[in-house]
């Protein structure tokens, strides 16, 4: 290992066993010179002893960093699980709330239909008491005319009740006036 500003390269070495006479001869001499050069280069540039001493600390720091990252990942996974469970429970509560709101709207609609039916029946009774008949126009307006003596108000009340209290369809103001298109009885 070298400093950052130095070039890195490879050293190719060939190793073979030598005899004692060769060790004290030229081969041994070159080996000692090469070993000294490597030691000097290490002392000047690489500092392998310091790196070996720092290795356990570096390994421990790396392990702590990896452990911290793992704990962070586990915490994020747990947070996602909690958020998913909360969303699931909230959806159930929301569904119940929407169902209750729909039930309330249905109840209010039924009460409205009942009140509307009562109002139309009451109107038909008032028309009978006043002796007038109601003539609806296609645009939704009404015209009141004096009722002839032969006008059957009972048939009017029955027709209004039949049309307004019909469970098959919901009465609407546009179709309610047609209940007053009763023919005179003979």
Region for 101 from its dihedrals, namely left if φ exceeds 0, alpha if ψ lies in -120 to 50, beta otherwise: alpha
Predicted confidence at residue 33, as pLDDT, reads: 92
CA 102 to each of CA 88, 89, 91, 114, 147: distance values in angstroms, whole numbers, following the listed order: 21, 20, 16, 18, 44
185 pLDDT exceeds 70?
Answer: no
Predicted confidence at residue 186, as pLDDT, reads: 41
Angstrom distance (rounded) from CA 55 to CA 48: 10
154 pLDDT exceeds 80?
Answer: no
Q: Pull the structure tokens for residue 55.
A: 């290795």
pLDDT tens digits for range 64-103:
888 888 888 888 999 999 988 888 888 887 888 888 899 9
Predicted confidence at residue 183, as pLDDT, reads: 40
Residue 42's nearest CA partner among 102, 89, 2 is 2
pLDDT tens digits for range 13-67:
777 787 888 888 888 898 899 989 988 998 888 888 887 887 888 788 888 888 8
Predicted confidence at residue 37, as pLDDT, reads: 92
Q: Pull the structure tokens for residue 139.
A: 């645009």
Cβ pair 153, 124 in contact under 8 A: yes
Angstrom distance (rounded) from CA 167 to CA 144: 29
pTM score of the predicted model: 0.37
Angstrom distance (rounded) from CA 29 to CA 45: 24
Predicted confidence at residue 5, as pLDDT, reads: 65
Q: Where are the domains of the chain?
A: 111-180
Phi and psi torsions of 182, nearest 5°:
-85, 140
Secondary structure of the chain: what % helix, strand, coil (to 5)?
65, 5, 25
């Amino acid at each position: 290992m070298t400093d950052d500003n130095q070039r890195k390269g490879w050293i190719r070495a060939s190793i073979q066993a030598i005899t004692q006479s060769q060790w004290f001869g030229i081969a041994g001499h070159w080996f000692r010179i090469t070993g000294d050069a490597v030691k000097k280069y290490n002392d000047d540039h690489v500092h392998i002893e310091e790196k070996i001493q720092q290795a356990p600390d570096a390994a421990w720091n790396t392990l702590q960093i990896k452990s911290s990252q793992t704990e962070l990942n586990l915490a994020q996974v747990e947070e996602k699980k909690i958020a998913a469970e909360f969303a699931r429970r909230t959806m159930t509560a929301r569904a119940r709330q929407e169902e209750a709101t729909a039930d309330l709207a249905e109840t209010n609609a039924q009460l409205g239909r009942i009140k509307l039916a009562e109002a139309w029946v009451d109107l038909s009774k008032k028309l009978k008491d006043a002796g007038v008949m109601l003539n609806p126009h296609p645009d939704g307006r009404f015209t009141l005319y004096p009722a002839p003596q032969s006008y059957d108000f009972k048939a009017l009340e029955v027709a209004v009740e039949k049309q307004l209290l019909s469970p098959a369809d919901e009465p609407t103001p546009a179709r309610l006036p047609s209940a007053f298109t009763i023919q005179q009885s003979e």
